[in-house]
Amino acid sequence: MIIGVLSDTHGLMRDETMQALCGCDVILHAGDVGGKGVLERLESIAPVHAVYGNVDPPGAWGLPLVWEGEIAGCHIAMAHRRKDLPSQADIFVYGHSHRYEEVWDGPALYLNPGSCGPRRFHLPCTLALLETGHGTLKVHRRDLLAEEKPVPAGDMRETVEKVVRDLQKGKTRDAIAKKYRLDRQLTEQIIRLYVTHPGVDTDGILRKMGL
């Protein structure tokens, strides 16, 4: 069985993320989902278990703070923040930091798949695949968008302003993404928020992105 594990999408679902999860039997999302559309796209691949994160409205889309369940004989506990996890499980899944982390504490696995949403902090875009079977558990890290330039959190405001400014000049999404070496879908997300929310300013776009 293959379990896809991701977190911190912040409303951004890339084609590369969908491709990496294709073939999974079940998917776990550790919060900061950013919209029901993210869950719907994931559910087109496999059944999804998710929790809400600090940028998601509590209880939105029926998501709990903590999820626990049995998958392939493993007791899995998941929460957005590690501090909210229960004390007992075989696999602990969490997110929030945007940093990939894979730590074994005896037989127990603590796994943060990192973020595959808007890139920042010069961190890579990552998720994880858990392969279970015959009493074994293997963790496979997946790095996405290796050729794209991450956007540091402090530079996201400037990035939004550049995208909007060039959009107002009539430039296309692909031209803007190429000019600033941005992920095309991140560029599209900024453009979509600007176009569909007349009068929205940079702060408004950043808030809607959960940043």
89 and 43 in one domain?
Answer: yes
AA letter at 13: M
pLDDT, tens digit, for every residue of 14-36? 889 999 999 999 999 999 999 99
Please tell me the distance from the alpha carbon of residue 39 to that of residue 14, in angstroms, as a whole number: 13
Q: Which of 144, 167, 191 is the last residue of a domain?
A: 144
**Tokens linked to 126:** 């990552």
For residues 158 and 60, membership in a common domain is answered with no
Residues 169 and 84 in one domain: no
Both 10 and 43 in one domain: the answer is: yes
**192 and 117 in a common domain:** no
pLDDT tens, position by position, 60-101: 899 999 999 999 999 999 999 999 999 999 999 999 999 999
Q: At what angle do helices 173-180 and 184-196 cross, to 10 degrees?
A: 130
**Do residues 7 and 81 share a domain?**
yes
Write down the pLDDT at residue 110: 98
Burial class (CB in 10 A: 0-12, 13-18, 19+), 122: exposed
Pairing of strands 125-133, 91-93: unpaired
| Domain range enclosing 55 | 2-144
Q: Which two tokens stand for residue 164?
A: 């909007």
**Judgement on whether residues 138 and 182 belong to the same structural domain of the protein:** no
CATH number for 43: 3.60.21.10
- Residue where a domain terminates, one of 109, 144, 179: 144
pTM: 0.75
Looking at the 3D structure of the chain, how many domains does it have?
A: 2
- For residue 178, the tally of other CB atoms under 10 A from its CB is 13
For residues 24 and 98, state if they share a domain.
Answer: yes
| pLDDT tens digits, 134-176 | 788 999 999 987 555 555 555 788 889 999 999 999 999 889 9
Q: Tell me, yes or no, whether 33 and 134 share the same domain.
A: yes
Same domain, 97 and 140: yes
Last residue within a domain, chosen from 144, 169, 199: 144
* 135 and 97 assigned to the same domain: yes
Asked if 109 and 196 sit in the same domain, the reply is no
